[in-house]
Structure 1
Amino acid sequence: MTTPRSALVVDDERDIRELLVLTLGRMGIRVDTAADLASAKAQLTAEKYDLCLTDMRLPDGTGLDLITHMSQRYPETPVAMITAYGNVEAAVNALKAGAFDFVTKPVDLAVLRRLVQNALDLGEQRRSQQPASNRLIGDSVAMQQLRATIGKVARSQAPVYISGESGVGKELVARLIHEQGSRNDRPFVPVNCGAIPSELMESELFGHKKGSFTGAHVDKDGLFQVANGGTLFLDEVAELPLHMQVKLLRVIQEKTVRPVGAPAELPVDVRILSATHKNLVKLVEDGKFRHDLYYRINVIELPVPPLRERRDDIPLIAQAVLQRLSAELGEAVPPLSPAASEALRRHPFPGNVRELENILERAVALCDDQQIDVADLGLPAAGAPAASPADPGAAFAPAPTMPLPNGDSALPDALEQIEREAIQKALEACRYNKTKAAAHLGITFRALRYKLKKLGME
């Protein structure tokens, strides 16, 4: 027989206590109550609870006092704040103090039940949780601290702002927060705010109704609706235009969205994670990013260190990348020579982990020997400017003979098409003898195999 789960309700209003006892009781939860801070602390000492709900105002203190106390003494117990409607500052302070989530008065029972279920699911996951994912590779102090912080913020529902340079792995961090939290069985929806045209952004995020604008032939759910119950990751959030920042702020505060052309708002339950490589504080100062939105998405800031600040992790990451490439190619991948490994440790990596991956992919494709040496890495000479991370096959791509279209992805797409055509012509000229085709192109056989796999031409 399983032990029923339990909750502690702390509120000085008897009506609220009775409402919560009744609601949680119908969910099969045993409920104890306390009318003040002292009584709550005493009951926490005597009893272990799966969840705590506390009012903001108590006769002998505040709910923040209790949240802080529980974060220090009972960190495994999720605690949620009950606060007055519209008291955004209190809710944000509660999340910063360690609260799992918050609910406003008058209490919406549907919202309350979802919150309670999320908290109980999180407690179950903590008890059965395996060690944190090893996809954040590295034994440096910085990485150990990052993994520990991810574990802590995953327990909350607070918005998290992930800061860091391009290529450090901000989306990976966001995915780990989602996977280690109570919403891990619901969708994780990443969206690159800089990749959506401004005129389509409202429809993409919030959805639209049929006939609301030219081309709206059917109803469409927005990304908020797609992520309902789960996590929405707003990557490159600094790229949001100001008019969309206003709309996003309202959605976060009210937990509702209005699809384009819809007569009413729809409730949504999503956790917001956001990231950018830009300096949001500077953008706020320059009037390019709303300060109220900044404070809403930046309840918890999680900086991700650049690769140059954890150089001792480079050999471990390089080994993991080479193992992945070996599995993708279905053959043994040459190891790094000691000199190549040391050259990587000295490289500044302006492109961070993404640059390291690209360097190794190119080296594997172009290496002739049984190991990858310094020359195969293609690193700039000392004092020379570092090239931007390039595609592994760019070294043998023919020069383009046509004007390239505009757009963020136009150059990579155009180069890929040129490579595809050059390889196809070489294969046809050599009657699909790959060894001869590689020699015809002036590349190694391994490089040709790599490109055939990467371009889907196998």
Structure 2
Amino acid sequence: MAEQTALIVDGDPAFRERLELTLLRMGLNTLSCGYVQEARDNINKHQPTFCLTEWELPDGGGLDVIGFARAQYPAMPVVVVTGKASVEAAATAFKAGATDFIAKPLELPKLRELLQSLTQRQNGKAASPPTPSTVAGNAANDRILGNSPAMQQLKATIGKLARSQAPVYIHGESGSGKELVAHQIHLQGARGKGMFVPVNCGAIPENLMESEFFGHKKGSFTGAVTDKQGLFQAAHQGTLFLDEVADLPLNMQVKLLRAIQEGAVKPVGGLEEMPVDVRILSATHKPLEQEVASGRFRQDLYYRLNVITLDVPPLRERQGDLELLVDFFLQKIAKRWQIPVIKLAPDALAALQAYHFPGNVRELENILERACTLCDDNLIRQRDLHLRPAQFEAAVAISHAPVTPPVLVDESIPDDVWNPEDADAEKDLVQRALEYTRWNRTRAAHILGMTFRQLTYRIQKYGLDENQ
């Protein structure tokens, strides 16, 4: 048996013969069959390098082939090649563990490129055929800290998603680590040696978005003094990660959809489209279904990006990882600041364990960095943590709900209802709320549980207007 062997599973003998000839020209050995049971027998007997299967078969379907291969040989890539392609079928296949999903009629250049990437991945492993094992990629997953059940499930799912080229929509709260998850999917996949290009869609000025995504030609607009490569071109043969994709304006969503569908982009001021080979990963803390329902996000783009959804658990659902994360961040801070590792007192650890972390892992890191600055004797105590009061924490959790201006709280509420421990704590809390809402004062007042007038007074009192 040749080292690289492809198993073709298709009910059409003529198609199997054509595909066999194509693979033989690529130097691959082939096996072929037309039924699910024959596919199972071939996988057990010959342990092929990878498998190409039709979605619909006389005695079952590609889902049965995928399930058997995943159970017996998890490292074996399985590609669905079908004339019955649909978004629903593709999503089902990828969730079951398919490596890729290709529609007939086949585009031979793309098929060759895919098979070459699969054979290169297999050549990078031991020369022996795949054997039953755990999901590949656990070593790379070590960059994602956590051993809680929620994180073990997340790591296992990342390993499955890395095997495919399907778009993945990553949903999670702010600070939960969506970009890190996207990067791990990239690193463990066939594109791991290519570029991983992250972009915060909410941070690009609207008038520059097309240039940033697709590039521009010299002289195409005022200030375009040279040709510029766009994000799609930079991510060619790699991965483009669209963070906070829900923040894209509608006119840019149309252009992004066309680029993804056509696999090509036209630079601003350019005359010809440039082909790009990019895997798209996207993320947002907003529920995209609600954005679609409200008309703020295009339904066709939603279906193009949301082939597979991956939920990243918030820190409060993985409290068993807290001590591990605390240790990691304290080590990281000590190394960056070139100081001895600062310890955490028992009362500080207990306070962190009781805290719900509305800002998730990012907030934990910020809390520890601030505490390292304020603590004495290289020991962080509870008082050094300056955790958010529960009133603010609970309000943040519902802060995405629509707010009805102008007055959200009865103006008659006395000031002493709002009573943080000291002025510094109050100033810090008000500033956090303003930054969180991007200086939407009505919404910030709602989060803080005070009137608009009370918030305006405190902004003036602490001179916060100067910090905008």
- Common fold: TM-score over 0.5: yes
Structure 2 equivalent of residue 449 of structure 1: none
Stretch moving more, 303-312 or 158-167:
303-312
Structure 2 equivalent of residue 229 of structure 1: 237
Post-superposition offset of 1:34? 2.3
Q: In the TM superposition, what are the counterparts of 1:186-335 in structure 2 within 5 Å?
A: 186-335=194-343
CA distance in 2, matches of 1:136, 1:355: 17
Q: Which runs of 5+ in 1 are unaligned?
A: 389-394, 400-405, 411-458
Structure 2 equivalent of residue 427 of structure 1: none
In structure 2, the CA distance between the partners of 1:222 and 1:386, relative to structure 1 (3 Å rule), is: same
Q: Between the two proteins, what is the percent identity of the paired residues?
A: 54
Misfit runs of 4+, over 6 Å: 406-410
Q: Deviations over 1:17-70 (max 9, x none)?
A: 344333323332212222444443332232111111223454554444433443
CA distance in 2, matches of 1:236, 1:334: 34
Post-superposition offset of 1:270? 1.6
Structure 2 equivalent of residue 142 of structure 1: 150
Matched, 1:44 2:43: yes
Three-state SS of the structure 1 residue aligned to 2:223 is coil
CA distance in 2, matches of 1:11, 1:92: 20
In structure 2, the CA distance between the partners of 1:87 and 1:130, relative to structure 1 (3 Å rule), is: closer
CA contact (8 A) 1:76 1:123 kept: no
Structure 2 equivalent of residue 9 of structure 1: 8
CA distance in 2, matches of 1:184, 1:14: 36
CA distance in 1, matches of 2:363, 2:325: 12
Post-superposition offset of 1:335? 0.4
Structure 1 equivalent of residue 32 of structure 2: 33
Matched, 1:98 2:97: yes
In structure 2, the CA distance between the partners of 1:370 and 1:104, relative to structure 1 (3 Å rule), is: closer
CA contact (8 A) 1:360 1:377 kept: yes
CA contact (8 A) 1:380 1:387 kept: no
CA distance in 2, matches of 1:312, 1:323: 19
CA distance in 2, matches of 1:304, 1:126: 30
In structure 2, the CA distance between the partners of 1:343 and 1:67, relative to structure 1 (3 Å rule), is: same
Which amino acid letter does the alignment assign opposite residue 29 of structure 2? R
CA contact (8 A) 2:94 2:161 kept: no
Q: Which runs of 5+ in 2 are unaligned?
A: 127-135, 397-423, 429-434, 440-468
Q: In the TM superposition, what are the counterparts of 1:111-190 in structure 2 within 5 Å?
A: 111-124=110-123, 129=137, 131-190=139-198
Post-superposition offset of 1:224? 1.3
Stretch moving more, 188-197 or 52-61:
52-61
Which amino acid letter does the alignment assign opposite residue 45 of structure 1? N
Stretch moving more, 161-170 or 60-69:
60-69
Structure 2 equivalent of residue 448 of structure 1: none
CA distance in 2, matches of 1:270, 1:115: 13
Which amino acid letter does the alignment assign opposite residue 275 of structure 1? A
CA distance in 1, matches of 2:138, 2:392: 45
Three-state SS of the structure 2 residue aligned to 1:208 is coil
Three-state SS of the structure 1 residue aligned to 2:139 is coil
Structure 2 equivalent of residue 362 of structure 1: 370
Q: Deviations over 1:370-413 (max 9, x none)?
A: 3111111122456566899xxxxxx89x99xxxxxx99999xxx
CA distance in 2, matches of 1:40, 1:382: 58
In structure 2, the CA distance between the partners of 1:310 and 1:58, relative to structure 1 (3 Å rule), is: closer
Post-superposition offset of 1:146? 1.4
Post-superposition offset of 1:188? 0.7
CA contact (8 A) 1:193 1:235 kept: yes
CA contact (8 A) 2:344 2:379 kept: yes
Three-state SS of the structure 2 residue aligned to 1:231 is strand
Post-superposition offset of 1:221? 2.3
TM-score w.r.t. structure 1 length? 0.77
Which amino acid letter does the alignment assign opposite residue 79 of structure 2? A
In structure 2, the CA distance between the partners of 1:269 and 1:407, relative to structure 1 (3 Å rule), is: same
In structure 2, the CA distance between the partners of 1:407 and 1:368, relative to structure 1 (3 Å rule), is: closer
Stretch moving more, 313-322 or 21-30:
21-30
CA distance in 2, matches of 1:16, 1:89: 24
